[in-house]
Structure 1
């Protein structure tokens, strides 16, 4: 009889603790999203914000993007990856490394773009003369990262699924290195 009572008390206690933890987590979760919502004010509607300076660019994420980022269970969409590239660019600038690192907008090399459009975007991006470039790339619904050193003529490909670089991206990079950078250099080594 005592064992049954002990089991029942333990089970009730576990359920109470679970309920409390669940409620606390839900409250924290709601507070996080509440703090991300803009507060409307009649004064704010008539005030024109100053233009962005430097790397201070307004970022707009819809609530679905924020939920996906906060949950960690969804695949990251392009808005989140663009946010990462902008953040890393800002970090690089603050550390005084803006001449060293370049971050390519993933939309500019997206697989839905045609070959010529990707090449033009790469020419524009690589024309900034950085030492190392970070190119986040989406293939289907899977993100990969290409890190390129233009000075040392190498590229590192990071893919959690161990897939090779897509042919379209590889051809665009090889074309850029061959035609634009230096015809005498060999292709980038992946």
Structure 2
């Protein structure tokens, strides 16, 4: 009797270049979509506070800066500057909160009360900066984290074998008897 193969034992190869590129392309599309949606909300929110010719400054000052601080946090963590990374991460979270609030307020103020747009729209729009940050963080971590193969079972076994061979050579060297040592005994 044959058993159905469910694939339960199969795994995804984390080193597959096809999977890597697919994930990066999908996440870049998510960054683009979330960024456009968030920038659109910030452009409308900017109309409340600045003249028309300066409305582009709010999305640049908030969402572009948000992406920059998210990447800077990763770079600082990699360099071991934990307190600096923490400070920049706090700035990033403040920018996300500001952007989400501005997006939420824009949709809340521009929709008709009692409609689904008014009930759900603000929350969906407020999620865009959060999705933007999440996608940027995942892309940055995925593209900057090196594969740690040093601790794989095969590499551990190779290291152990190399160490054992070195120990055997050292023991053989100690056990060698020179002709002079034989005549002296």
Larger Rg: 2
Structure scoring higher RCO (CA < 8 A, sep ≥ 6) equals: 2
TM-score tier after normalising by the smaller chain length: under 0.3
Query: TM-score, normalization: structure 1?
Result: 0.22
- Structure with the higher fraction of residues in helix conformation: 2
Query: TM-score, normalization: structure 2?
Result: 0.22
